[in-house]
Amino acid sequence: MPLKPIILDRTRLEQFATCPQQGYLSMLFDALKAEAEGVIVFAWEMERIADADPELIYRMKKVALYSTTNKFCDVGIEIHELIEQAFLACDNVIEEVPQWFVDNLPKTRPDIQPMAIKHARHIGDMLADYHVNLLAVEQQLSVVFLPETKTRPAIIVTMKLDLLGSGIKSLHYHDWKTGYKQRTNSETADSFQGQFGAWLLWRQPEYKEVTKVHFWYYETLWGTKAYACYDRDEEHPRLPGLTAQRAIQGRIKEAVELFVRNCQDAWPMPEKCCWCDMLPFCKLSDMEAKAIADDPTLYVDQMVVDKESLRRRRAAAVAWIKAKGALVGSKVIFTRKEPAERFNADFMSKDKPKGPAKTGDEELDSHFKKNNGV
């Protein structure tokens, strides 16, 4: 009798790809939350719960029914549901969606209605600029990534696309983002979500001839967009054979294998840990992120103390160099800034490059040696 497959959605895979410890803790917490809510917990989840640290499981169970979101997350959830309801009610006729919002936004939760209206205005603008043929809304795509073995069920990877449209010999898919974060095009191109969605589309039989996928983040709080283009066969001249599809598939494969091995390694960084909902349960997080989580008030108060301390030390240092000259540190020099009408001081590099920059572009010139004047 075949084993029931394990289904890994984009969120879980991205967690393991970002930090296996985040993926592991999130998987445990979600399973315990489902159990507390009376939702079915899969056999493989129960096995991992049984193998986990009992003290960790105890701590998670105590808060399993607590919300891990905030008002801003609630707005996002509400907006996503409203968009889905709007397209369903309007039978995917984009032109009718704004009027549906007009009729239904007054019915949203009163505590988040003002923010929801702000998002809806930007959604209306974005839909007005939607110039490709709409194929689907909230479309679920799945691929069997690893077949079943004697010891393991099949692994199915899946993701839901918010909007899918067709361009000229290409596909466009869009994802609604309702948070504060604004992304660059470079961040979008490197995003696990963007790459994973493109790969899933390439693996669908009906799109096997499509090589180019355009991906868009629609940031509804700001009315901004971030964009990336994935070309299945694109490869760098210096890396022949490493096509976009091959590179992305390798990235997904590594994430799946981390899950299969139940990897619990931690890859802490401030920009990861400060965004992680599992920070309260993690013993391997970034120290600064953990300090904020443990006592936010103390952390802010300490920043105020540090700022005042730096102001006083800087004033003393300025007085010193006025009287006796530059202060030389092991890495930088604190000295007078030239030219300036008023006496002003700042830190300067001890090994400042000599001669003119080759391009005048600081970002490009950082690749050149600092001591040869090119």
Q: What is the pLDDT of residues 35-72, one digit of tens each?
A: 999 999 999 999 999 999 999 999 999 998 876 555 66
Q: Are residues 151 and 218 in the same domain?
A: yes
What is residue 362's predicted lDDT score, i.e. its pLDDT? Answer: 58
Q: Are residues 26 and 132 in the same domain?
A: no
Question: 150: which residues sit within 8 A by CB, 6+ positions away?
Answer: none
Q: Are residues 203 and 92 in the same domain?
A: yes
Number of domains in the chain: 3
Q: Are residues 157 and 244 in the same domain?
A: yes
Q: Are residues 234 and 331 in the same domain?
A: no
Which domain-ending residue is among 235, 257, 287? Answer: 287
Q: Are residues 93 and 230 in the same domain?
A: yes
Comparing 139-153, 204-218, 346-360, which segment has the lowest mean pLDDT? 346-360
Strands (E), the chain: 6-9, 133-146, 155-166, 170-177, 212-219, 224-231, 327-328, 332-336, 345-349
What is residue 280's predicted lDDT score, i.e. its pLDDT? Answer: 92
Q: Are residues 229 and 344 in the same domain?
A: no
In-domain check, residue 1: no
The alpha-helical segments, DSSP class H, found in 37-112 are: 43-51, 54-62, 71-89, 97-104
Per-residue model confidence as pLDDT tens digits over 224-236: 999 999 999 999 8
In this model, does residue 248 exceed pLDDT 50? yes
What is residue 347's predicted lDDT score, i.e. its pLDDT? Answer: 78
In-domain check, residue 97: yes
Residues 79, 83, 86, CA angle at the centre, nearest 5°? 135
Strands (E), 298-353: 327-328, 332-336, 345-349
Which domain-ending residue is among 241, 261, 287? Answer: 287
What is residue 357's predicted lDDT score, i.e. its pLDDT? Answer: 41
Given pLDDT bands bounded at 50, 70 and 90, which one contains residue 334?
very high
What is residue 103's predicted lDDT score, i.e. its pLDDT? Answer: 94
Per-residue model confidence as pLDDT tens digits over 276-293: 999 999 999 999 999 999
Q: Are residues 58 and 87 in the same domain?
A: no
**Which pTM value belongs to this model?**
0.82
Could you report how far apart the first and last alpha carbons of the chain are, in Å? 69
Dihedral sign from CA coordinates of 24, 27, 33, 35: negative
In-domain check, residue 41: yes
Q: Are residues 125 and 100 in the same domain?
A: yes
In-domain check, residue 155: yes
Tell me if residue 77 falls in helix, strand or coil: helix
What is residue 359's predicted lDDT score, i.e. its pLDDT? Answer: 46
Given pLDDT bands bounded at 50, 70 and 90, which one contains residue 371?
very low
The domain of 222 spans 75-249
Comparing 112-126, 201-215, 242-256, which segment has the lowest mean pLDDT? 112-126
In this model, does residue 299 exceed pLDDT 50? yes
In-domain check, residue 258: no
CATH number at residue 211: 3.90.320
CA atoms within 13 A on the CB side of 65: 6
Q: Are residues 316 and 341 in the same domain?
A: yes
